[in-house]
């Protein structure tokens, strides 16, 4: 059986969300235990709960919703890269040692993957406009982080989010890369076909492409 790494955080009522955002909530409409023929639930959540893809609408009034984000960007050849920087903006020099030839995605593995799903990262590394431009020039379409945002927690103008859209790139946030060796993988992390929303949960998986 081929190895699959599940790099998705579990969505539970206790899964940490952005300060002030809506936590995951499940309500029963029908219950087998109460004599119904099915269990029927209604769920509510922020699309940014756990591992997710931001839609351009999240930060641009005229941006695409998940249903019309470029689907092929979420299925490709991805490099997993461990970084030692624990906080602040990542520069091209943080990952310049990595051979990106053939990679359409880069997944950045930091200390945040060691935190439990319930724990919100107080310090986390995020992107820089320089790193995004450098990755775009290298042929990368997707950047994934285990951090909760591609910008600093306190950023209001969100330069990295906007740079992604400008370059036609997409992002994943809150990946869970614990135990995944650096290397080359096939990545599949498709957003749900949601209209009107600002992002979507994804089930993100990696399949190793080589042994090293
Ligand atoms: Zn997000």
Give the start-to-end residue ranges of the domains of the chain. Answer: 5-9+47-208
Distance from the alpha carbon of residue 13 to the mean position of ligand 1, in angstroms: 18
CB atoms within 10 A of CB 44: 11
> Residue 189's pLDDT is what?
98
Q: Which of 79, 20, 81, 70 is nearest to 48 (CA)?
A: 20
Residues 104, 93: contact at Cβ < 8 Å?
no
In the predicted structure, residue 211 carries a pLDDT above the cut 80 = no
In the predicted structure, residue 212 carries a pLDDT above the cut 70 = no
- Alpha-carbon torsion, ordered 69, 71, 73, 76, to 10 deg: 160
Contacts of 122 (CB under 8 A, 6+ apart): none
Summarize the confidence of residues 62-74 as an average pLDDT: 97
Summarize the confidence of residues 140-160 as an average pLDDT: 97
How confident is residue 169, by pLDDT bands cut at 50, 70 and 90? very high
Domain 5-9+47-208: top CATH class: alpha beta
Distance from the alpha carbon of residue 185 to the mean position of ligand 1, in angstroms: 23
Distance from the alpha carbon of residue 105 to the mean position of ligand 1, in angstroms: 17
Predicted TM-score (pTM) of the model is: 0.95
| 129-137 vs 159-166: helix crossing angle, rounded to 10 | 20
How confident is residue 210, by pLDDT bands cut at 50, 70 and 90? low
> Residue 60's pLDDT is what?
97
Distance from the alpha carbon of residue 8 to the mean position of ligand 1, in angstroms: 14
How confident is residue 122, by pLDDT bands cut at 50, 70 and 90? confident
Distance from the alpha carbon of residue 147 to the mean position of ligand 1, in angstroms: 10
Summarize the confidence of residues 38-63 as an average pLDDT: 98
Residues 74, 66: contact at Cβ < 8 Å?
no
How confident is residue 1, by pLDDT bands cut at 50, 70 and 90? low
Residues 204, 186: contact at Cβ < 8 Å?
no
Query: Whole-angstrom Cα distance, residue 89 to residue 13?
Result: 30
The dihedral built from the CA positions of residue 142, 128, 47 and 60, taken in this order, carries a sign that is negative
Strands 142-145 and 105-109: parallel
Is residue 167 part of the annotated active site? The answer reads no
Q: How does the average pLDDT of the chain come out, rounded?
A: 96
Summarize the confidence of residues 144-149 as an average pLDDT: 97
In the predicted structure, residue 155 carries a pLDDT above the cut 80 = yes
Active-site choice (58, 65, 111, 161):
58
Radius of gyration of the chain from its Cα atoms, rounded to whole angstroms: 17
> Residue 49's pLDDT is what?
97
In the predicted structure, residue 16 carries a pLDDT above the cut 90 = yes
């Amino acid at each position: 059986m081929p190895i699959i790494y599940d790099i998705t955080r579990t969505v539970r009522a206790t899964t940490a969300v952005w300060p002030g955002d809506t936590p995951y909530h499940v309500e029963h409409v029908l219950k087998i235990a109460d004599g119904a023929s099915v269990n029927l639930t209604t769920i509510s959540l922020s699309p940014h709960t756990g591992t997710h893809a931001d839609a351009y609408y999240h930060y641009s009034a005229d941006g695409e919703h998940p249903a019309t984000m470029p689907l092929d960007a979420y299925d490709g050849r991805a490099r997993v890269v461990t970084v030692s920087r624990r906080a602040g903006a990542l520069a091209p020099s943080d990952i310049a040692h990595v051979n990106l030839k053939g990679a359409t995605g880069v997944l950045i593995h930091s200390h945040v993957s060691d935190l439990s799903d319930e724990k919100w990262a107080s310090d986390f590394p995020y992107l820089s406009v320089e790193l995004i431009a450098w990755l775009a020039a290298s042929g990368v379409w997707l950047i994934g982080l285990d951090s909760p945002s591609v910008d600093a927690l306190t950023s209001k103008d969100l330069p990295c989010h906007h740079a992604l859209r400008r370059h036609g790139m997409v992002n994943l946030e809150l990946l869970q890369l614990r135990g995944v060796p650096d290397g080359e993988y096939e990545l599949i992390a498709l957003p749900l076909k949601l209209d009107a929303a600002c992002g979507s949960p994804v089930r993100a998986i990696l399949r190793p492409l080589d042994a090293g």
